Amino acid sequence: MKFKLESRVRSGFVACFLLLALAFLISIVTTNKLLRQIKLVNYNNTIIRQLSGFSAAVKDLRSSYRGYILKTGGTRQQPYNYSRQQADSSLHALLGTLSYNASYTEHLRTIQQLLQQEFTLARKGMSAYNNTGQVSEKLEDISEQENKTVDEITGHLNLIQDIEETELDKKMNRLMYYNDLVKKINITSLVLVITLVSYSLFIYNKENSAKHRADMKTFNYQEQLKKRIIDLKHANEELRTLRGNEKFSATGRVARTIAHEIRNPLTNINLAAAHLAKDVELRQHKDMLQIIQSSSERINQMITDLLDSTRFQELDFSKVNIDTLIDEALDNAQNSLQLKQINVIRDYGEHVCAIWADKEKLKIALLNIIINAIDAMEAGRGELILKTGTVNHRCAISVTDNGAGMEEEALNKLFDPYFTTKTQGIGLGLTNTRNIILNHKGDISVVSKPGVGTTFHLVLDFAKD
């Protein structure tokens, strides 16, 4: 879904980009054409303006010539000379502007010839007037020719001006067309981009909402799975505890059966050894008889220890502060801690854990765990962490070491009678520890990892007020 969402949104934005790029290119082309039309329009306007200026100069030329004939005075030729200069200057400007337009070459050449003809006729007319001082028949002929010449010039100018105005109208129409086209392209591009962006955002929001719902479902499923895993873990721990208790009960039954079966013949052996010790003839075998008696007593003591570690014990309950009890157990193990230079870390909870327990027996259980932890750690590198706190409204105690740790096989046999990984010891310490905890209606579990260390977890009920 993530790929699909990203693909759709990406496609939408790519389409927007391509449309914008296309619109930009079209706008550039259209704008260039628009600018070209503007230049052409300006060119036509310049021609029309120059034509109008030249036409006005020619009319002024006619007026100044007539004024010269009608007026008298020393400066009467000055207006004509000025008008002639203006007409000549306007014609040169017009020739420069229209030099690139071959269609006007013939007209311009004719206009130029007619203008020179007008200048010649005007000079002749003014000369004839100066000679006679009056309007003669010759002057009238010259003036009539001069009028015709000016009219011809004006006719050619009007023809060119009509052509240019027609071209100007066409170019103005093209200019408006390209201007409208640019507007339409920009508006269309904007509408398309807005549509595509809106579509992309719509798809994104839609897919993102679906993705969010899917993520929420996944998250809820993960939370349920985590909860089930935790529940399963607790169930496994409870099952392991039940199996341990069952195993412990079975071990107790076996121990009592073995004790009964062994003690009966053992009693007979003790009685026989005592009877033989009274026989005078066997007194020289006194040492052998003592060996029999001491071995019998040792076997009997082992049976007693086994029974003590696997049967219900009578407890002397009192209200006990667990933090204080741990401190006392550490004091009892102080020599071993100092000998191996173990660093002890006490991490007691904020609230005091007060429990209802047999103080001495629980201290023995804690001491057994602490001694086992000390034995598992290297001298000078050991770290023993003791924590207390509350778990599920019960008092929780943990004892953690950074010793060698245990494999799963050893961990499963840890509380079995006579199981030990030590070179010295009979393997009843932790069996007795478990018996004490179970007699307190508590729970005991162990977590261990080879090369990392071991943690004992104890859970006991709080003392009721």
- The CATH number that applies at residue 18 is 1.20.120.1730
Q: Is 263's pLDDT higher than 50? A: yes
Range of the domain at 204: 2-208
Same domain? 190 vs 333: no
- Which of 187, 208, 229 marks a domain boundary? 208
Residues in a beta bridge with 320 = 355
SS3 44: helix
Asked, for residue 133, whether it belongs to a domain, the answer is: yes
pLDDT tens digits, residue range 318-339? 899 999 999 999 999 999 999 9
Strand, coil or helix: what is 317? strand
Same-domain status, 17 and 152: yes
User: Quick one: pLDDT at residue 382?
Assistant: 92
- How many percent of the chain have pLDDT more than 90? 15
Q: In this predicted structure, which of 159-168, 188-197, 292-301, 356-365 has the lowest mean pLDDT?
A: 292-301
pLDDT at 402: 93
Q: Are 204 and 322 in a shared domain? A: no
- Of 127, 144, 139, nearest to 80 by C-alpha is 127
Query: Do 69 and 193 belong to one domain?
Result: yes
Most confident of 137-141, 295-299, 439-443: 439-443
| Residue 328 forms part of a structural domain | yes
Higher pLDDT, 38 or 398: 398
Calculate what percentage of the chain has a pLDDT beyond 70: 81
Question: Among 208, 223, 242, where does a domain finish?
Answer: 208
29-68 per-position pLDDT tens digit = 777 777 777 777 777 777 777 777 777 877 777 777 777 7
Please give the mean pLDDT across all residues of the chain.
78
User: The CATH number of the domain where 376 resides is what?
Assistant: 3.30.565.10
User: Are 172 and 28 in the same domain?
Assistant: yes
Same domain? For 204 and 321 the reply is no
Residue 151: what pLDDT? 82
Average pLDDT over residues 335-351: 90
Query: What mean pLDDT do residues 420-438 have?
Result: 77
Looking at residue 143, its pLDDT comes to 76
The total of structural domains in the chain comes to: 2
**C-alpha–C-alpha distance, residues 203 and 136, integer Å:** 98
C-alpha dist (Å) from residue 79 to 54, 67, 129, 337: 16, 8, 17, 133
pTM as predicted: 0.45
Q: How confident is the model at residue 282 (pLDDT cuts 50, 70, 90)?
A: low
Which residues face 445 on adjacent strands?
457
Instruction: Give the residue-averaged pLDDT of 349-356.
Output: 82
φ, ψ dihedrals at 437, nearest 5°: -65, -45
**Confidence at residue 1, expressed as pLDDT on a 0 to 100 scale:** 47
Q: What is the mean pLDDT of residues 266-272?
A: 73
Q: What is the mean pLDDT of residues 122-141?
A: 74
Is the residue at 25 inside a domain? yes
Q: Is residue 15 part of a domain?
A: yes
Q: Per-residue pLDDT averaged across 7-24, rounded?
A: 70
Residue 183 Cα distances to 40, 180, 195, angstroms: 21, 5, 18
pLDDT at 233 over 70: yes
Q: Quick one: pLDDT at residue 416?
A: 78
In a domain, 297, yes or no: no
HSE (side-chain half, CA atoms, 13 Å) at 436: 22
Residue 231 vs residue 3, higher pLDDT? 231
Would residue 132 count as lying in a domain?
Answer: yes
Which residue, of 170, 188, 208, is where some domain finishes? 208
207: confidence class by pLDDT, cuts 50, 70, 90: confident
Asked if residue 61 belongs to a domain, the reply is yes
Residue 247 lies in a domain: no
Statement to judge: residues 176 and 31 lie in one domain: yes
What average pLDDT does range 365-382 have in this prediction?
91
Q: What pLDDT, on the 0 to 100 scale, is given for residue 73?
A: 44
- Residue 74 pLDDT > 60: no
